[in-house]
Amino acid sequence: MTHYEERLERDLEHIKEKVGDLSERVEGMLKDSSLALFTNNERLAYSVILGDHPVNRASRELDKICHRFFAVHLPSAGHLRFVSSVMRVNLELERIGDYAVTICRESVQIGHPPKGTIGSHLGRISEEAQGILRRAIAAFKDGDTDQAGSDMDDARKATRGFDDVFRVLVKEEGNLRVEELFYYLVVFNMFGRVFDQAKNICEETIFSVTGQTKAPKTYRILFLDEDNSILGPMAQAVARKNFPEWGDYTTAGRIASTAISGEAIRFLEELGIESITTSPRALDAAEDLSNYHAIVSLQGPVKSYVDKVPFQTLALEWQIGDLPRDSDEGNAQLEALYRSLALQIQDLMLTMHGEEE
């Protein structure tokens, strides 16, 4: 091994050592913040808050070390990916430390251990957040892409359960002070952000080892209408035709008509657009709507179709136009509906996904 190679390996080990030390500190902060919350230990809470200062200094030092590595070694390929990932993981760890500080500040304001249903939900989420963060950090240190992929799935599943948390908080209205409800809301939100940052660390593991970047996001969109005979199927077909790689499009009606409009099908076929839905579908009251990024009503308010819009789901209501009433004006009205749908679908997908580079 040449002198240069020895220095390169030594500097890489130094970076690994520093990111390892920082991750252990941040893991400890999250663990202690949870303990302070559930034991009402103000002394421990203030210790975590004070301990954030050396963590921030360590984070800034690691950032300088990484920049110095780039300047000295001009790395490429694997080394470049690894140090670039370390810099992003460094930022994510620093943010998790801030979340731990916020949990401690809120726990001091609450003034007692969480009780009842709120306490049980918080306990579960706290344990899951600590576990996923611990595994994500271990996967990054070991370069374990399989573990990273598994942890990303776990983080996504965990965040889907946050709707239950907010329902619990709403039920506690009247039993707790309004200020206390907001304190708990902030704490739940901080744990939720830990899941997000842990998922980001997993993505950095995969990029560092394989060079594979984060896959473009696919958005799940649900189009709602009255009887699912024209508007919903048309919106689904237009979206699938114009933005096939950007979304997964579904449609349903308040009720299900006996069949999709034959005129609408023929109109779409003349434009070279194939209808996806072969028969109308009524919205299933038991369907898990939290899987959708956006619910779009094409006829009336979204809440006239669903009792509760999931916390992380957009509810959009579009003005489309009148449905065809007779065959003489049918084609012209279908043309107007198509243009309105195509324009609003384009605005939605470009806003959510962004322009292709």
- pLDDT recorded at residue 167: 75
Backbone angles phi, psi at 280, to 5 degrees: -60, 150
Do the two domains 3-210 and 219-353 of this chain adopt the same fold?
no
The structural domains of the chain, with segments of one domain joined by +, span 3-210, 219-353
Is beta strand 247-253 parallel, antiparallel or unpaired with respect to 294-297?
unpaired
Report d(CA 69, CA 198) in Å as an integer: 25
pLDDT band at 356 (very low <50, low <70, confident <90, very high): low
In degrees rounded to 5, what are phi and psi of residue 344? -70, -35
Terminus-to-terminus CA distance in the chain, angstroms? 42
Residue 330 has pLDDT above 70, yes or no: no
Percentage with pLDDT > 90 across the chain: 68
> Phi and psi for 241 in degrees, rounded to 5?
-70, -45
According to DSSP, the β-strands at 294-297 and 314-317 are parallel
In terms of average pLDDT, the best of 91-105, 142-156, 268-282 is 91-105
Give CA–CA dist 265/24, Å, rounded: 60
pLDDT digits (tens, 9 = 90+) for 161-206: 676 777 777 777 667 788 888 899 899 999 999 999 999 999 999 9
Query: Is 3-210 a CATH 3.40.50.300 domain?
Result: no
pLDDT in tens, 238-297: 999 999 999 999 999 999 999 998 888 889 988 888 876 778 999 998 898 988 999 999
Instruction: Provide the whole-model pTM.
Output: 0.73
How high does pLDDT run on average in the chain? 91
Backbone angles phi, psi at 116, to 5 degrees: 60, -145
Tokens standing for residue 345: 């679908």
pLDDT at 173: 65
Determine whether 314 is exposed, middle or buried from the number of CB atoms within 10 Å of its CB (0-12, 13-18, 19+): middle
CATH class of residue range 219-353: alpha beta
Rg (CA), the chain: 26
What single-letter amino acid sits at 260? I
